[in-house]
Chains A and B, each alone.
Chain A
Amino acid sequence: MTFIVSDVQNGVMTLTLNRPERLNSFNDEMHRQLAQALTQAERDDTIRCLLITGAGRGFCAGQDLNDRNVDPSGEAPDLGASVENFYNPLVKRLAALPKPVIAAVNGVAAGAGATLALGCDIVIAARSVNFIMSFSKLGLVPDCGGTWYLPRLAGRARAMGLALMGDKLSAEQAQQWGMIWQVVDDEALSDTARQLANHFASQPTFGLGLVKKALLASETHTLEEQLDIERDYQRLAGRSEDYREGVSAFLAKRPAVFKGK
């Protein structure tokens, strides 16, 4: 079964979570396929932007509970194992990918599906979408980066409210709170996301990768440490081909042609 549809065009890799009958919820095989696609995204320099979206009416409903042992008389399942083996590496790899990652949230994003989206660099959501922090209603903890991203995106008070109550958050509210980049009408989502992805694929990818790395590093750094990072990354960025191209294009008043290096 193809649970992850991968399509590479013009420097954009589009990964479509593809278990529409299960609202694209994760099972182990889907995790493995996603991991494989990410390996390609990491190794292939011609891929300069990653776009993640869902097939059908959902974005991702998180972990497929059908895969879980819910027999009350059976042994307790080890949910830590799937977090350790699948979700944590996924979050780390998306954060470490030195190119922009866009989530086009086309439908319901629940549990790890919601927190997965929030961990992407740019989140664009269809207006009708809800983010549902459903973990606490099952007695669980937001995973897939949820407890790290939520307070940083929404602030502690809202993160607590969201995570403890487990209610749904509309895309518009998420945007008002500054948790996501953009809300668009449902029918405009795919075009908007594609346009942005194509834009990124023509941009100075090496520099964008450093911007992303620096912003993520700032979450745990002091001002002094971060200033060192800025010096180091600027030193590296200044040596890139794209910087030279950017400057000469600016001086020559022509559009820059970036190679991503």
Chain B
Amino acid sequence: MSELLISQNERVLTLTLNRPQARNALNNVLLEQIVQALEAAQQDETLGAVVITGNARFFAAGADLKEMASRDMPATLNDPRPQLWARIERFNKPLLAAVNGYALGAGCELAMLSDIVLAGDNARFGLPEITLGIMPGAGGTQRLIRSVGKSLAYKMILTGEAITAQQAQQAGLVADVHPCALTLEYAQNLAARIAQHAPLALQAAKIALRQAHELSLTQGLQQERQLFTLLAATEDRQEGINAFLEKRPAAFKGR
């Protein structure tokens, strides 16, 4: 049985982390498989959005500690993982995380790297690296503080203590909380709603949103306007506006 299950329903691709014996720990092989699945999805015009999920008890409970323990300082310096994470981040279509159970360490970082997080009411988010004598190494210190603010980010990272789905929602880490048994289904429904929109508009909006964390407001507004202008050259923009005015569903073509 593969450690990453891949299934497609219409325009939505679902990636299911499937290493239950290792609590879905994200080892290099699994991370590589995620990257490959996303890069294939990026080329596939029939796909509009991707949902990544785990099982009812674990989204992903961290990195693979045995793998990490075997890497000394020189090996860590040349670790392929940062490249893998960067390739996940370059995925240019909407990426949703449906998180049930524990999203810890690398699991939490993977959720935070996703564009939208939906959580089951049993979900827990945490960065317990500090308790192992290390620290988050794949965006944990950077993305957490940008979504939940200073005090909670410091508290979580310096204590290693996890927060509940409800706390995560209040803090802005999570968009919606659902009963655990419905999280994936609702994430897939949301992904399907997103995936029916014009692909280029989604791609442009995602670039603009990503840049909000990279640029000053003035630069961000300029970038936003350029992307907005770019879309003015697309057929789908015409179709979208026409369909609205003619009160009919739009038929987007991705150009």
Q: Is B one of A's binding partners?
A: yes
Q: Which residues of A contact B212 (CB under 8 A)?
A: none
In the bound assembly, the distance between CA atoms of A236 and B181 in angstroms comes to 8
Interface residues of B in 33-81 (CB under 8 A from A): none
In the bound assembly, the distance between CA atoms of A235 and B189 in angstroms comes to 15
Q: Does A243 contact B (CB under 8 A)?
A: no
- In the complex, the chain A residue whose C-beta lies closest to that of B178 is A232
Q: Which residues of A contact B181 (CB under 8 A)?
A: 236
Q: Which residues of A contact B178 (CB under 8 A)?
A: 232
In the bound assembly, the distance between CA atoms of A235 and B181 in angstroms comes to 10
Per-residue interface assignment for chain B, residues 162 to 183, with 1 indicating a CB less than 8 Å from any chain A CB and 0 otherwise: 0000000000000000110110
Q: Which residues of B contact A233 (CB under 8 A)?
A: 179
Q: How far is the CB of A90 from chain B (nearest CB, A)?
A: 19
In the bound assembly, the distance between CA atoms of A232 and B121 in angstroms comes to 12
In the bound assembly, the distance between CA atoms of A235 and B178 in angstroms comes to 12
Interface residues of A in 206-231 (CB under 8 A from B): none
Q: How far is the CB of B186 from chain A (nearest CB, A)?
A: 9
In the bound assembly, the distance between CA atoms of A233 and B121 in angstroms comes to 12
Q: Which residues of B contact A232 (CB under 8 A)?
A: 178-179, 182
Per-residue interface assignment for chain A, residues 220 to 261, with 1 indicating a CB less than 8 Å from any chain B CB and 0 otherwise: 000000000000110110000000000000000000000000
Q: Which residues of B contact A236 (CB under 8 A)?
A: 179, 181-182
Q: Which residues of B contact A235 (CB under 8 A)?
A: 182
Q: Which residues of A contact B179 (CB under 8 A)?
A: 232-233, 236
In the bound assembly, the distance between CA atoms of A235 and B179 in angstroms comes to 11
Per-residue interface assignment for chain B, residues 104 to 143, with 1 indicating a CB less than 8 Å from any chain A CB and 0 otherwise: 0000000000000000000000000000000000000000
In the bound assembly, the distance between CA atoms of A116 and B85 in angstroms comes to 49
Q: How far is the CB of A190 from chain B (nearest CB, A)?
A: 36
Q: How far is the CB of B6 from chain A (nearest CB, A)?
A: 25
In the bound assembly, the distance between CA atoms of A236 and B179 in angstroms comes to 9
In the bound assembly, the distance between CA atoms of A167 and B181 in angstroms comes to 45
In the bound assembly, the distance between CA atoms of A233 and B182 in angstroms comes to 9
Q: How far is the CB of A233 from chain B (nearest CB, A)?
A: 7
In the bound assembly, the distance between CA atoms of A158 and B35 in angstroms comes to 61
- In the complex, the chain A residue whose C-beta lies closest to that of B185 is A235
In the bound assembly, the distance between CA atoms of A232 and B181 in angstroms comes to 9
In the bound assembly, the distance between CA atoms of A233 and B181 in angstroms comes to 10
Q: Which residues of A contact B182 (CB under 8 A)?
A: 232, 235-236
Per-residue interface assignment for chain A, residues 112 to 137, with 1 indicating a CB less than 8 Å from any chain B CB and 0 otherwise: 00000000000000000000000000
- In the complex, the chain A residue whose C-beta lies closest to that of B122 is A96
In the bound assembly, the distance between CA atoms of A232 and B185 in angstroms comes to 11
Q: How far is the CB of B108 from chain A (nearest CB, A)?
A: 23
Q: How far is the CB of B56 from chain A (nearest CB, A)?
A: 13
- In the complex, the chain B residue whose C-beta lies closest to that of A235 is B182
Q: How far is the CB of B224 from chain A (nearest CB, A)?
A: 32
Interface residues of B in 147-206 (CB under 8 A from A): 178-179, 181-182
In the bound assembly, the distance between CA atoms of A218 and B179 in angstroms comes to 14
In the bound assembly, the distance between CA atoms of A86 and B178 in angstroms comes to 29
In the bound assembly, the distance between CA atoms of A206 and B179 in angstroms comes to 14
Q: How far is the CB of A226 from chain B (nearest CB, A)?
A: 13
Q: How far is the CB of A146 from chain B (nearest CB, A)?
A: 23
Per-residue interface assignment for chain B, residues 204 to 222, with 1 indicating a CB less than 8 Å from any chain A CB and 0 otherwise: 0000000000000000000
- In the complex, the chain A residue whose C-beta lies closest to that of B180 is A236
In the bound assembly, the distance between CA atoms of A232 and B189 in angstroms comes to 14
- In the complex, the chain B residue whose C-beta lies closest to that of A220 is B166
- In the complex, the chain B residue whose C-beta lies closest to that of A239 is B181
In the bound assembly, the distance between CA atoms of A202 and B127 in angstroms comes to 43
In the bound assembly, the distance between CA atoms of A114 and B181 in angstroms comes to 35
In the bound assembly, the distance between CA atoms of A235 and B180 in angstroms comes to 13
Q: How far is the CB of B120 from chain A (nearest CB, A)?
A: 11
In the bound assembly, the distance between CA atoms of A233 and B179 in angstroms comes to 8
**Given A232-B179, A235-B182, A236-B181, 5 other A-B contacts at CB below 8 A?**
A232-B178, A232-B182, A233-B179, A236-B179, A236-B182
Return 8 A-B CB contacts under 8 Å, by A number. A232-B178, A232-B179, A232-B182, A233-B179, A235-B182, A236-B179, A236-B181, A236-B182
Q: Which residues of A contact B (CB under 8 A)?
A: 232-233, 235-236
Q: Which residues of B contact A (CB under 8 A)?
A: 178-179, 181-182
What 5 A-B pairs come out closest when comparing CB atoms?
Answer: A232-B179, A236-B181, A232-B182, A236-B179, A232-B178
